[in-house]
């Protein structure tokens, strides 16, 4: 007999197997997670819309399917949370904006269709910054999400509600998206695993406001195997997204345990341009070289990647302003106040400025292409700091006494411009018991390799049993 406390910390794979074997009922599972959400969400504010009635009904249907011995999907009866910029039919999708506070989606996003078809039960929608534009989670509609490791700190963004929910045991799987680090940064700050797939691996339809060629949807989980399980469900082409990639032709989960010791890893402590806090740098370095001591072929490299931070800000602002066009003045009246400090930038950008960004993107890819001719993976920090206080707004202005710009604490942005798959892998804790992780970046289209490399680290240095004190 499983207790609620057992259920909420089981992996999605464990839940799925226990449900199919008749050891757990989907009703028990959904009840356990809803109790957890009701208990913790008032403090964390990870969920902004709870689909409780729908989830209970779906759990009852799922239980009947088990009893009637119907063929069950890979996620049958497993609860999932969806970021609130991903449409779910009949459910409010606000994008964290007062402009959309009453918006009810008319159709499912492609990945939602696939999750439901696989038997997943949607618990609700998770919080994000307005339109997912910044790397913290706060908005004028719902307010800030708090980090379960320290509720005075941010969980990061923009998939902060999703990462906080998984870390706090409010769901085993959450879906986020990553346009500049929005899966990897929250996973880093919350001590969970996350995968940003290659652009197009998971179809994007209906399209989100802005984020035309930067963002990719992916899973946030407590184990690598759960992320592989989700990728088996949500990856693959759909003609509604003209950028969607051909089918990967493999099962990520079935191939997860393949040894990567013959693969070559490069390690960059700063990508050549970013400031890294001393404590974070030490934690990441120790983890990376502990991994190397196990026989993995790893070499520290000196990179000098192009700093695309300013380009990222210009591109995101211009795409957002273009997306909202004639509603801009209406939006400015209700927008998240700090946005007003940079929305004006779009009025000063010329068409040639945006084209120059694409030229710099090509230069960045040329740098990465040469690196990946020699190495299979790149390991680097995700952020130069651990989770910072909510009172710091959109982030620190300095690290260890060195001044930084608005994106000066993030090391995730380059791989959104190059579209390469990248995972956030937990690797340690600060003296204040705050999680720290690193990212494993793969070559183009190689989500499987990134998952295999992440799993190799997880097997030697597991993190799933490390739970926040909330």
User: Which residues carry out catalysis?
Assistant: 83, 158, 182
Alpha-carbon distance of 246 to 237, in angstroms, equals 5
The set of residues, in sequence order, having a beta carbon less than 8 Å from that of 134 and lying 6+ positions away, is: 157, 158, 338, 394
Contact 152, 108 (CB under 8 A): no
Alpha-carbon distance of 467 to 306, in angstroms, equals 37
Q: How far apart are the first and last CA of the chain?
A: 25
Nearest to 29 by CA among 21, 44, 41, 18: 18
CA 351 to chain CA centroid, Å, is 31
H or E stretch including 396?
A: none
Question: Per the structure block, which two tokens stand in for 377?
Answer: 């993976």
Alpha-carbon distance of 108 to 89, in angstroms, equals 5
Number of Cβ within 10 Å of residue 347's Cβ equals 9
| Residue whose pair of structure tokens reads 């959309």 in the numeric block | 100
User: Which of the 8 DSSP states describes residue 446?
Assistant: -
The counts of H helices and E strands in the chain are 14, 13
Alpha-carbon distance of 275 to 176, in angstroms, equals 27
Question: Per the structure block, which two tokens stand in for 415?
Answer: 């791989």
DSSP-assigned states of every residue in 176-201: EEESSSTTHHHHHHHT-EEEEPPTTS
The set of residues, in sequence order, having a beta carbon less than 8 Å from that of 340 and lying 6+ positions away, is: 332
- Residue 221, classified by CB atoms within 10 Å of its CB into exposed (0-12), middle (13-18) or buried (19+), is buried
- Residue 246, CA atoms < 13 Å, CB-side half-sphere: 2
Helix (H, G, I), strand (E, B) or coil at 435: strand
Question: Per the structure block, which two tokens stand in for 72?
Answer: 């069950």
Helix (H, G, I), strand (E, B) or coil at 43: helix
Contact 227, 174 (CB under 8 A): no
């Amino acid at each position: 007999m499983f207790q609620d406390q057992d259920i909420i910390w089981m992996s999605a794979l464990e839940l799925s197997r226990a449900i199919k074997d008749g050891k757990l009922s989907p009703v028990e599972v959904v009840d356990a997670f809803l109790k957890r959400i009701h208990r913790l969400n008032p403090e964390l504010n990870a969920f902004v819309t709870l689909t409780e009635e729908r989830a209970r009904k779906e759990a009852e249907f799922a239980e009947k399917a088990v009893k009637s011995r119907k063929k069950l999907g890979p996620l049958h009866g497993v609860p999932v949370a969806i970021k609130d910029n991903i449409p779910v039919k009949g459910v409010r999708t606000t994008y964290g904006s007062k402009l959309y506070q009453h918006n009810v989606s008319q159709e499912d996003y492609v990945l939602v269709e696939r999750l439901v078809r696989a038997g997943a039960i949607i618990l609700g929608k998770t919080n994000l910054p307005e339109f997912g534009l910044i790397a913290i989670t706060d908005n004028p509609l719902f307010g800030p999400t708090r980090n379960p490791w320290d509720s005075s700190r941010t969980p990061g963004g923009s998939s902060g509600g999703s990462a906080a929910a998984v870390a706090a045991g409010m769901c085993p799987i959450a879906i986020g998206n990553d346009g500049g680090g929005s899966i990897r940064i929250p996973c880093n700050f919350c001590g969970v695993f996350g995968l940003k797939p290659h652009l197009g691996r998971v179809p994007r339809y209906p399209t989100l406001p802005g984020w035309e060629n930067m963002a990719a949807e992916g899973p946030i989980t407590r184990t690598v195997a759960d992320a592989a399980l989700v990728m088996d469900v949500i990856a693959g082409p759909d003609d509604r997204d003209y950028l969607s990639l051909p089918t990967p032709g493999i099962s990520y989960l079935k191939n997860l345990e393949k040894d990567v010791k013959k693969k070559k890893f490069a390690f960059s402590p700063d990508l050549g341009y970013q400031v890294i806090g001393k404590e974070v740098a030490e934690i990441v370095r120790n983890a990376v070289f502990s991994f190397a001591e196990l026989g993995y072929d790893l070499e520290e490299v000196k990179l000098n990647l192009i700093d695309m931070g300013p380009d990222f800000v210009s591109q995101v602002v211009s795409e957002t302003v273009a997306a909202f066009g004639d509603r801009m003045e209406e939006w400015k009246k209700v927008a998240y106040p700090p946005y007003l400090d940079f929305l004006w930038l779009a009025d000063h950008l010329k068409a040639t400025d945006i084209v120059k960004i694409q030229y710099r993107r090509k230069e960045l890819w040329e740098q990465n292409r040469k690196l990946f001719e020699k190495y299979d993976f790149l390991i680097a920090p995700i952020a130069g700091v651990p989770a910072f206080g909510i009172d710091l707004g959109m982030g620190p202005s300095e690290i260890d006494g060195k001044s930084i710009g608005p994106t000066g604490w993030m090391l995730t942005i380059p791989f959104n411009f190059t579209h390469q798959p990248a995972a956030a892998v937990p690797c340690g804790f600060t003296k204040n018991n705050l999680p720290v992780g690193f990212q494993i970046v793969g070559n183009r289209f190689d989500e499987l390799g990134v998952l295999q490399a992440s799993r190799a680290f997880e097997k030697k240095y597991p993190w799933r049993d490390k739970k926040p004190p909330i």
